[in-house]
Amino acid sequence: MPELRPVHGGTDSLPQPRHDFSSNANPLGPCPAVLAAIRRADLTRYPDPMYTQLRGRLGEFHQVSPERIVVGAGASELILRLIRRSSGTIRQLVPTFSEYARGAHLMRRRVSSVHSPRAFLRAQERDPGLGFLCWPNNPTGDAWPLEFIAAAAAGPLVVDLAYAPLCEGSAAAGIERAAARAYRLYSPNKAFGLTGVRGAYLIAPRIERHLALDAPSWVIGRDAVALLESGAGRPAQRWLEQSLPRVRRWRTGLAGSLRDMGLTVSEGPATFLLVRVGEATRIAAGLRGRGIRVRDCTSFGLPEWLRLSAQGPAAQKALLAVLKALL
């Protein structure tokens, strides 16, 4: 029986750590404009079961028909729904986000894991099924070439863009166009530092009413409606844009300090990086015992690596001191 228990970074059952490098959410969040909209949300009433106004707003934001937009209780819920509505093999380019394989196991579907874009395209040609590509990839930060994404989108494909809004602008330019023929998955709670609000959406390549209907009624609450609607607004987008240079400086600074310690670092255009520490589980446990949470990448098949998100100078100083002692 495959492992169905979710294995994620972020929250665990221990007390909140002093410094959290395990979550990839925007470290400068929560975004004030989005938080204010959530606080204004009237939680005494059900949301509109069709989410008409919200889908209209998101359609305008992405310049697509609102009828192609499907909202869900987080990208994880939408991943499960997409798998349930598809047929055949579930394909992934590993190492990657665990929910694609977990969803496949829950739905008793075959999982095909490949290790390179070329192998992905070859396998897709033989057996289309449904492919998942994460851009930029969690945990490696790989921003797959846009030509590869466009070629893969010729078959049934989901492009998970959870961290795309947190990427350097030049890297992110063009991904929407490259993925235009795929299901595009958006999870704005990360960019706005509000992962506790369970709301996300997808843009389907064509109108598919069954996808929106294959969920419990009122699948997202008014707090999530407020997050998604205000997240597409000018104040939230401006805040996000302004936050990124600082977060990027934190990431490159952290990468530099780790390299100065003689460690191998792998960086992409997103706000997190990978560092090779040897026994990742032991090091992660040692850090956790000293109030610092990191993501042990063993469950991704990378037992020597930790994933670290960009955090501020005080958090970095604490991390580097404990890491030096543990190594």
Ligand X SMILES: Cc1ncc(COP(=O)(O)O)c(C=O)c1O
* Structure token pair of residue 325: 């002692």
- To the nearest whole angstrom, how small is the minimum distance from the Cβ of residue 10 to ligand X? 7
Strand partners, 266: 274
Least distance (Å) between residue 139 CB and ligand X: 8
Site for ligand X (CB under 6 A): which residue of 200, 236, 302, 322?
200
Q: Check residue 162 for interaction with ligand X (CB under 6 A).
A: yes
251 or 323: CB nearest ligand X: 251
Of 72-80, 164-172, 271-279, 291-299, the segment contacting ligand X by CB under 6 A is 72-80
Q: What is the spatial order of strands in the sheet that 157-160 belongs to?
A: 69-72, 200-203, 183-186, 157-160, 130-134, 90-93, 111-114
Q: Does 187 bind ligand X (CB under 6 A)?
A: yes
Residue 296 engages ligand X in binding (rule: CB under 6 A): no
Q: How far is the CB of 187 from ligand X (least distance, A)?
A: 3
Q: Please identify which residue in 134, 157, 219, 308 interacts with ligand X, judged by CB under 6 A.
A: 134
Please say whether the beta carbons of 31 and 192 come within 8 A: yes
Confirm or reject binding of residue 97 to ligand X (CB under 6 A).
yes
For the chain, give the longest Cα–Cα distance.
56
Question: In this structure, what DSSP letter does residue 136 have?
Answer: S
- Which of 20, 160, 223, 229 is close enough to bind ligand X by CB under 6 A? 160
Read off the amino acid at residue 286. Answer: G
Residue type, 92: Q
Q: Which one of residues 26, 89, 138, 140 is an interface residue with ligand X (CB under 6 A)?
A: 138
The SS3 call for residue 237 is helix
Task: Find the shortest distance in angstroms from Cβ 103 to ligand X.
Answer: 11
Please identify which residue in 76, 86, 89, 92 interacts with ligand X, judged by CB under 6 A.
Answer: 76
- State both tokens at 209: 């009413």
Q: State the minimum distance, in angstroms, from the CB of residue 131 to ligand X.
A: 15
Strands (DSSP E) contained in the chain are 19-20, 69-72, 90-93, 111-114, 130-134, 157-160, 183-186, 200-203, 265-267, 272-276, 292-293, 295-296, 305-309
Q: Which is nearer to ligand X, 76 or 112 (CB)?
A: 76
Binding interface with ligand X (CB under 6 A): 8, 74-76, 97, 134, 138, 160, 162, 187, 189, 195, 200
